[in-house]
Structure 1
Amino acid sequence: MSTSKTTLPEGIRKLPSGRFQARYKAPDGTRRTLGSYATVKEAQKELILKEAEIEQSRWIDDRKADVAFGEFAWDVFGHKERTLKASTVTAHRSLLNRELLPVFGTMKLKDVTPYEVEKWWGSRKDKPVSKHHAYSLLNNYMNTAVRWGYLASNPCLVRGALKDPSEPRPVWGVPDFQKVYGYCTDQMATMLIVAFSGHLRAGELLGLNRGDFDPETGVLTVSRAVSKQAGLTTPKNGETKRVTLLQQGRDALDAHLRGRAMDMDAPMFTGPRGGRVKYAELRAGWVKGCEAAGLENFHFHDIRHVSLTHIAHTGASLREIMARGGHKSVQAAMRYQSATGQRDSEIAALASAGFIR
């Protein structure tokens, strides 16, 4: 006996071909077709699964995944660039244009499958670090596609692709820094010891004004930084940091500022033409010192790691190290217990005593 239309379960209808089509009402109110099946039972099973997805808030609008990857990627880029550093925005734009769009740009989002991603990964013959960065950005954007309801899952499943392929960096210590410091004179030496004493990034050091240092307390206020792309901006984490300098940094700044006109808004360190010292000038001075000391691959940013490790050796707690370093995640710990100015002074004194020039 044939199945009549009136006896078919809700959401299922018989097609002229004899197959059974399953249809459902999506959360947005539209009617959607799941497909056609050989039997009513198969069609019912798919309907039940789809209704469960809707009930459990797991439903994905598969029509959204018909958008081209390139269109979606620029949408994500525009959303993210408002919260990223200028240098990161530049790097992401370059990776999109150079690495991802030529391959996936015109492909529908739903067609960027694990197979397509793995095929692309396997075809790349460039340097491991460049390959890693491109894959990481693709993975980031596909995670966004899942979060925004474009895809049910991330197709970036290549094993080991997210592992950083960079070669391990050398482990530097205070004696290495002191070697370089010993070959620098005048303003460059002062800049290095201040960077060490306050655990400063290069941009934070270059962004200092004369009014940022309190000679009475030895506290340095870090509220701005120089960016290669954006000029004078906020520090990396967007927050002001106040740190008690080691005595060596404090003495060096006292000597540096002595006799200078105290325009509080004037740059702390000036170049040959009177403006702020530039990145290129700072790097040139650092490289010259490293070469004289016979040390290769010692980066300026390593000063920060060396100095914070030195602080850790004084017995400072992780929370106190994070406070001196100005790490973003310190805010969570500060809700319950904050590092006091008195304790920060004690830590600076201990570290000063352990820093032998």
Structure 2
Amino acid sequence: MPRRRSTWGTNESAGRGYRRLRYWADEHDGRGYARHSKTIQGTRRDGDEELARLRVLHSEDGPVPTLRQAYETWWLPDVMARYDAGEMSKNSVANYRSKWNKHIAPVFGDMSVADVTPLDISEWVTGMGSTTATLAMNVLRQVLDFCVLYGFIDSNPASARIRLPRAEKSTRDKSVYDIAGLTAAIESVRGTLAYIPAILCGIGSCRLGESMGARVDDVSSIELNGMTVAIVWVRRQVDRNGNVSARLKTKTSERPVVIPEPWSLEVLRARDASEDGWLCGDGVGGTLPQWTVRRDWKGAELPVGMSRIPMCNLRNTWRTIMRWELGVPEDMCERMMGHAGKNVGEIHYDRPREEYFADVVSAAWCRWRKSKP
């Protein structure tokens, strides 16, 4: 018997009083909009009636992307455009993509976005670490936001009130030095690979990667408030493996850092002695991996009674000393750290020159030294 077609689906004999119905629909089984087959017992009329019922249920169904398709079509191009515009760092992009590959794609990648539910997401984050769950949720929420934008789903299931794993109590050392401690710690690494980076981080506010990316032509000097001040422009950074990148953490991270005496004289001597163009290079034209600097920092002997803080805490030390020991106003500290600011004036209109930074820093150190007996 020939197959009988309707205007929606097909109704054909399956032998011995059975009918086989075929139709396109989204059955919310994770496959999205796909072809389905259903066998019923009955006559041709029974088959037509069942097709009519299915049509009422699925007449508005249409192709719905899988989460992987949404990720590749909208989320990933958007993130790469933001990266190219300098709005995201290379590490942030790599971190987000890692969360997709390791945690999201294996569970939801091939699922229709219309079938992802808050309960699915709640069960998925169970057992994850707090940081991993937070980052993975951010990526999932952003991908599903595009699906809401383009009308494939009415609301974002990842925006429901989903309880994330609680953060474990941090065991990271958050210690900082005062001026005396910082001076002693820097002196303890004199003659090592960590010496100039420690000065740029603890006296100049640099992140470690920023301190290792300075070239000799980024360094200049100026006489202010009775001292020689070194000005080092932060324009690039070096990663843990020694690779150089012109892309800093944020746009405002490009800035001049100010080094007062006596450390400014050490920085200027290092600049004049460099033979490969790098302030903290390997001596043969290349850059050092971060681990070599951290190794020398950790291995140096400190005065009795002192403990070594992590090198990344030197930037925190700079901020604490500038604000609480040297009395520099908070908004100036934020600007010198390369933070964007919070109000319209700070973000769009405040554009201090390097001389202003140098004057503020040198004057603060002069006041502090005069206050000491």
- TM-score when scaled to structure 2? 0.67
Structure 2 residue aligned with 1:238? 251
Q: Deviations over 1:166-221 (max 9, x none)?
A: 61644322235445324212242222012222211122111100111112352221
Task: Find the aligned partners of 2:302 and 2:151 in 1 and give their Cα distance.
Answer: 53
1:92 corresponds to which of 67, 72, 96: 96
1:1-357 alignment runs, 5 A limit: 63=62, 66-75=64-73, 76-82=75-81, 83=83, 84-122=88-126, 124=127, 126-156=128-158, 157-161=160-164, 165=168, 167=170, 169-175=172-178, 177-186=182-191, 187-216=193-222, 218-228=230-240, 231-239=244-252, 240-260=254-274, 266-271=277-282, 273-289=284-300, 295=307, 298-313=309-324, 314-329=326-341, 332=344, 333-353=346-366, 354=368
Asked whether the equivalents of residues 207 and 224 of structure 1 are also in contact (C-alpha less than 8 Å), the reply is yes
Task: Find the aligned partners of 1:63 and 1:319 in 2 and give their Cα distance.
Answer: 54
RMSD, aligned CA: 3.6
Amino acid of the structure 2 residue aligned with 1:278: P
Structure 2 residue aligned with 1:26? none
Asked whether the equivalents of residues 199 and 304 of structure 1 are also in contact (C-alpha less than 8 Å), the reply is yes
Relative to structure 1, is the Cα distance of residues 89 and 336 closer, same or farther in structure 2, using a 3 angstrom cutoff?
closer
Structure 2 stretches of 5 or more lacking a match? 1-48, 224-229
Relative to structure 1, is the Cα distance of residues 251 and 81 closer, same or farther in structure 2, using a 3 angstrom cutoff?
same
C-alpha displacement of 1:259: 4.5
Amino acid of the structure 1 residue aligned with 2:256: R
Task: Find the aligned partners of 1:249 and 1:148 in 2 and give their Cα distance.
Answer: 57
Asked whether the equivalents of residues 219 and 244 of structure 1 are also in contact (C-alpha less than 8 Å), the reply is yes
3-state SS of 1:132 partner: helix
C-alpha displacement of 1:344: 1.9
Structure 1 stretches of 5 or more lacking a match? 1-15, 23-31, 35-61
Task: Find the aligned partners of 1:288 and 1:149 in 2 and give their Cα distance.
Answer: 58
Asked whether the equivalents of residues 69 and 107 of structure 1 are also in contact (C-alpha less than 8 Å), the reply is yes
The count of corresponding residues between Structure 1 and Structure 2 is 299
Asked whether the equivalents of residues 320 and 339 of structure 1 are also in contact (C-alpha less than 8 Å), the reply is no
- TM-score when scaled to structure 1? 0.70
Relative to structure 1, is the Cα distance of residues 335 and 233 closer, same or farther in structure 2, using a 3 angstrom cutoff?
closer
Asked whether the equivalents of residues 240 and 289 of structure 2 are also in contact (C-alpha less than 8 Å), the reply is no
Relative to structure 1, is the Cα distance of residues 316 and 141 closer, same or farther in structure 2, using a 3 angstrom cutoff?
farther
Which structure shows the higher strand fraction? Answer: 2
3-state SS of 2:317 partner: helix
C-alpha displacement of 1:250: 1.2
Asked whether the equivalents of residues 214 and 278 of structure 2 are also in contact (C-alpha less than 8 Å), the reply is yes
Q: Percent identity?
A: 16
Choose 1 or 2 for highest CA Rg. 2
3-state SS of 2:257 partner: strand
C-alpha displacement of 1:81: 2.8
Asked whether the equivalents of residues 194 and 249 of structure 1 are also in contact (C-alpha less than 8 Å), the reply is no
